[in-house]
Structure 1
């Protein structure tokens, strides 16, 4: 038996030799999953096994590791002040508390919807400004400036990010979309999920991006949805990644995107909210992971 298959067999035998998912076995199961993930990653890099077999093993890992047992952040945007409570900071543009809707921002685009690369450049600028001044950047008065908020937070590589939001139509249209995501320590690289309405507001699109450390973006997957979006009704938006590298996006618990991506193997350093055009408000933000922060 090839060494790789023997190693996999030993790991699986260890897993089935004990009662699965008993309370005192959680640590052992998690350790087994981590070991198996390492073996599969090595097999893929060094071409030690058939790609279909590797895919089956990743499916097995995903089946036993789809949960995110640790709550890293459970935040309600309910501050009575204009600024949101810690750990949130406004990095650029105007984003402030609305007592009835949560963290609200209204951005009116004065030009065609910006590319993700342009927005990434502005995000970098906002983070750099704070780093240089040592304080929060003041909200801009210009209503066409994309609004950006972020929270510094240790987020495991496998994570579940979930927010409840509402959206209203702008008088002149031009809704560029709302973006949520995670970023690594350079304040840039990470995953982004953009939700944007159709022209009539009766539906929209979801787009998942990978952002590199250089600020370039790559579209991973896109999906469309129907139904009211700009109707000021609560909508749950979720972006998640499991330990096997499968990315998912869902609206109101209905999965619309499911795709594998292994661009990042390290943990993330924070979460991000970007209004690229529209009238949006976030009521809550929940972040779960596989390791404590």
Structure 2
């Protein structure tokens, strides 16, 4: 058994595409080339043999663990296109259908899906003096303002806007997935988040959160248990250069997740709280200015 595993491992490494050997090749979308399929076939066979060896105790456990880690380094199970939208048609309400749950989203021509979110409290100053007969009108106005969510205090009108701007799209996303996001940030404040959710409620799932000047954060959302931070990056990130940045978020069948930003790993963690498939993708924006140029998801067959 051990001999077979070693032979298969060497075969897998020899069969790696030229890109893995030289670092340079013509770019193609993940999962689109025949080389990827061949390597994935080797990885699947190797993992199966490691499983059998573990059960039969046919080799040192540490060796098998290292072997599995090696195989997982080339594991790319995501082969099935699930979502692909670059918003070039100028309409986010079809093909695929995005639904605005709160706030405002629009298509910025030649750029993509844009949200200039507003949250918190906005104040408008008024120096108008109220006296005499206008007092009754002022009192009535104050009562009406309170009923509509506005309060008048010392001539200051305060309107409270609750929650971030949220937009979602339905998609049958497997539990293991590869998400690619190209986006740009235009304001060094607020918070932008993206992630898959389960069921009808977008508050059940994972969120990858970007706050300018802070490390990336991976959150687990539950409508019943609230929000928990399961991992936080080591380095602060600031990308308000109005350039397009590429984020790649992968999740293995084991629950291991890795996040790359512009080719550099910024997060890696394993979480198995969600074991079933996801039903959609949610994007939220709280007082930041974000343009989503494109988003794509690959799933597991």
Q: TM-score, normalised by structure 1?
A: 0.66
Q: CA RMSD in A?
A: 3.8
> How big is the shift at 1:284?
0.2
* Corresponding residue for residue 260 of structure 1: 270
The structure having more radius of gyration, on CA atoms, is: 2
- What is the 5 A alignment of 1:180-259? 180-187=194-201, 188-198=203-213, 204-212=214-222, 214-225=224-235, 228-259=238-269
Q: Where in structure 1 are there 5+ consecutive unaligned residues?
A: 1-8, 44-49, 112-140, 199-203
For residue 197 of structure 1, give the secondary structure of its aligned residue in structure 2: coil
Structure 1 residues 35 and 271: CA distance shift in structure 2, 3 A: farther
- TM-score, structure 2 as length reference: 0.64
Deviation at 1:103, TM superposition (A): 0.7
1:78 maps to which of 79, 88, 94: 88
Give the superposition deviation at 1:228.
4.7
1:130 maps to: none
| Structure 2 partner of 1:3 | none
Which position in structure 2 is the counterpart of 1:163?
181
Instruction: Measure the CA separation in 2 of the matches of 1:206 and 1:25.
Output: 34
Aligned-pair CA distance for 1:263: 1.8
**Higher RCO, Cα 8 Å, sep 6+:** 1
Gap change, CA 1:245 and 1:82, over 3 Å in 2: closer
What secondary structure sits across from 1:193 in the alignment? strand
Describe the shift of the 1:224–1:66 C-alpha distance in structure 2 as closer, same or farther (beyond 3 A).
Answer: same
Deviation at 1:156, TM superposition (A): 1.4
Q: Which residue pairs with 2:110 in the alignment? A: 100
How far did residue 251 of structure 1 move? Answer: 1.1
8 Å contact from structure 1 (residues 59, 244) kept in 2: no
Rounded Cα–Cα distance in structure 1 between residues aligned with 2:280 and 2:50:
24
Residues 217 and 38 (structure 1 numbering): CA distance in 2 closer, same or farther, change over 3 Å? farther
Aligned residues: 239
Residues 151 and 37 from structure 1, CA distance in 2 versus in 1: closer, same or farther, beyond 3 angstroms?
farther
Equivalent-residue separation in structure 1 for 2:239 and 2:185 (angstroms): 7
Instruction: Give CA deviations for 1:200-240 in whole Å, capped at 9, x if unaligned.
Output: xxxx3200012235252221111154565222211112221
- Who is 2:285 aligned against? 275
Deviation at 1:252, TM superposition (A): 0.9
Cα distance in 2 for partners of 1:161, 1:67 equals: 13
1:5-154 equivalences under 5 Å are 16=8, 32=45, 56=66, 59-60=69-70, 62-81=72-91, 83=93, 85-110=95-120, 145-154=163-172
The residue number in structure 2 matching 1:116 is none
Paired residue secondary structure (2:233)? strand
Distance 1:225 1:31, change over 3 A: closer
Closer, same or farther: CA 264–35 of 1 in aligned 2, 3 Å? farther
Aligned-partner Cα distance in 1 for 2:275–2:43: 17
Mapped partners of 1:262, 1:74: distance in 2:
26
